[in-house]
Amino acid sequence: MVKEFIDKIKTKEIKIGILGLGYVGLPLMIRYIEENFKVIGFDVDEQKVKSLLNKKSYIEHIPDDSIENAIERGFIPTTDFSLIKEADALIICVPTPLNKYREPDLSYVLSTMKNIQPYFRKGHLVSLESTTYPGTTEEELRPIIEREGFIIGEDFFLVYSPEREDPGNQVYNTKTTPKVCGGSTKKCLEAGLALYEKIIDKVVPVSSTQAAEMTKLLENIHRAVNIGLVNEMKIISDKMGIDIYEVINAAATKPFGFKAYYPGPGIGGHCIPIDPFYLTWKSREYGVHTRFIELAGEINSSMPEWVVNKLTMALNEAGKPVKKSQILVLGISYKKNIDDMRESPSVFLMEILRDKGAVVSYSDPHVLVFPKMREHQFDLKSENLTPEKIKQYDCVLLATDHDDFDYDMIQTNAKIIIDTRGKYSAKLPNVIKS
């Protein structure tokens, strides 16, 4: 049956079903449409589906004309999971957050499997792209499929291929970013490689779904640990009166053995704040205590409190308490030049300041209205920045360094700037590095 599946890909008779139309699923849909594949997109969010049917994008870096083009070329967005039976490949791109105990929450993956399970048929391929711990595909997804009487690798194919989306990246996109793929069996891997090779420049096969799952975790834990290291170096340098950004830039001139990582007010995005905890949780099953990874997580998680402490001391020096002070947060997406709010450290900063009694506002050209979030609520809109507006605030907290900000104007008019991104010289009288 694997030959028939691959032949359908070659002739583009295959129909792709993408489950979850967010930052991962939507770019993937566009790539398949660009290569003239038929795509059905599934999401439980009726507003997303309605927006797509109206040819409108809800992700800033995906323009409306990309959605319009996709619809005109046959893309079908829907909340009707009965259409699963029409698709041949089912690609799962749903969130995998942590619960309140910082343990893996697979509820979105498992509810998706529950929604599509009644429509499984012979010849289907399921690919999980959501970040998760090693063993998820085999321990959670495979039994669900096998309970329906299918034989994995014979009449049903199962793969894990982790997403590598980087919103706002101007160099690498879905097509040009190499993609890792592992299959439950050799035939599953064959089918998975064939599925992705039509839209990705380079697909990297690995020996198992577990190896593919671990690859994703290593990629992001590597970043989390190095960010934790440089954040700790920032704290030490601050105590010593040394500019950490000067140090990093000098170290980066070494042509070997060093890669520059930069500190910040915390870490954000769906992957780096979450992935390490997936591995530490799973490692306990094997009696392993991941001390190194957990320490980096603790350092990174503590950064918002450290920044607020610096802000508090700066206000004290100016004779003002945090309570009732007017604080403007610059940038609330998790990184520059995008609208992605997932796990943004800016939101944690805003909550800490609000809890301390500060009057918090924000300005972000990419997030004009504070969005509805599962765990964070602010009834705020982005402030338009003018010299007069800047002068009204007791302190400006630079949290996300969007290119659109007029940094000279802000510095000229702000009473105090807490700079968490190294945009300003520490020699400026109203700038405090944090």
What pLDDT, on the 0 to 100 scale, is given for residue 427?
86
> 272 and 379: one domain?
yes
Burial (0-12, 13-18, 19+ Cβ within 10 Å), 278: buried
Bridge partners (DSSP) of residue 432 are 418
* pLDDT over 90 at 393, yes or no: yes
Residue 215 domain flag: no
Q: Is the CB of residue 336 less than 8 Å from the CB of residue 324?
A: no
> 321 and 172: one domain?
no
> 201 and 234: one domain?
no
Q: What does the pLDDT average to over 187-213? A: 98
Residue 20 structure tokens: 């979850």
> 297 and 167: one domain?
no
Distance CA 34, CA 50 (A): 22
> 201 and 244: one domain?
no
Domain, as residue range, for 56: 2-207
Residue 39 domain flag: yes
Look at residue 396 and give its three-state secondary structure: strand
Q: What does the pLDDT average to over 215-232? A: 96
Give the model confidence (pLDDT) of 112-150 as tens digits.
Answer: 999 999 999 999 999 999 999 999 999 999 999 999 999
> 172 and 237: one domain?
no
In this prediction, residue 275 has a pLDDT band, given cuts at 50, 70 and 90, of confident
What pLDDT, on the 0 to 100 scale, is given for residue 272?
84
Name residue, tokens 């030049």: 337
**For the CA atoms of the chain, what is the radius of gyration?**
24
Instruction: Tell me how many domains the chain contains.
Output: 2
Which residues 6+ apart lie within 8 Å of 241 measured at CB? none
Q: Is the CB of residue 42 less than 8 Å from the CB of residue 111?
A: no
> 355 and 238: one domain?
yes
> 233 and 200: one domain?
no
Using alpha carbons, list the distances in angstroms from residue 156 to 28, 138, 194, 364, 392: 22, 14, 15, 47, 63
Q: What does the pLDDT average to over 43-58? A: 97
In this prediction, residue 373 has a pLDDT band, given cuts at 50, 70 and 90, of confident
Q: Is the CB of residue 40 less than 8 Å from the CB of residue 78?
A: yes
Query: Got the DSSP string for 207-276?
Result: S-HHHHHHHHHHHHHHHHHHHHHHHHHHHHHHHHT--HHHHHHHHTT-SSS-------SS--SSSTTTHH
Q: End of a domain among 173, 207, 241?
A: 207
Residue 401 domain flag: yes
* pLDDT over 80 at 415, yes or no: yes
Give the model confidence (pLDDT) of 296-326 as tens digits.
Answer: 999 999 999 999 999 999 999 999 999 999 9
> 248 and 126: one domain?
no
Give the model confidence (pLDDT) of 226-238 as tens digits.
Answer: 999 999 999 999 9
What pLDDT, on the 0 to 100 scale, is given for residue 434?
87
Residue 221 domain flag: no
Residue 388 domain flag: yes
Give the model confidence (pLDDT) of 345-360 as tens digits.
Answer: 999 999 999 999 999 9
Residue 224 domain flag: no
Percent of the chain at pLDDT exceeding 70? 100
* pLDDT over 80 at 374, yes or no: no
CATH of the domain at 63: 3.40.50.720
Residue 271 domain flag: yes
Q: Is the CB of residue 178 less than 8 Å from the CB of residue 99?
A: no
In this prediction, residue 205 has a pLDDT band, given cuts at 50, 70 and 90, of very high
User: Among candidates 108, 119, 132, 136, which has minimal Cα distance to 20?
Assistant: 108
> 324 and 253: one domain?
yes
* pLDDT over 90 at 213, yes or no: yes
Residue positions annotated with a catalytic role: 271
Name residue, tokens 């891997």: 189
Query: Side chain identity at 205, as an amino acid letter?
Result: P
Residue 34 domain flag: yes
In this prediction, residue 168 has a pLDDT band, given cuts at 50, 70 and 90, of confident
How would you classify residue 241: left for phi > 0, otherwise alpha for psi between -120 and 50, otherwise beta? Answer: left
> 18 and 161: one domain?
yes
> 383 and 243: one domain?
yes
Q: End of a domain among 144, 176, 207?
A: 207
Q: Is the CB of residue 18 less than 8 Å from the CB of residue 39?
A: yes
Q: End of a domain among 172, 207, 242?
A: 207
For the beta carbon of residue 196, count every other beta carbon within 10 angstroms. Answer: 22
Average pLDDT, the chain: 95
* pLDDT over 90 at 21, yes or no: yes
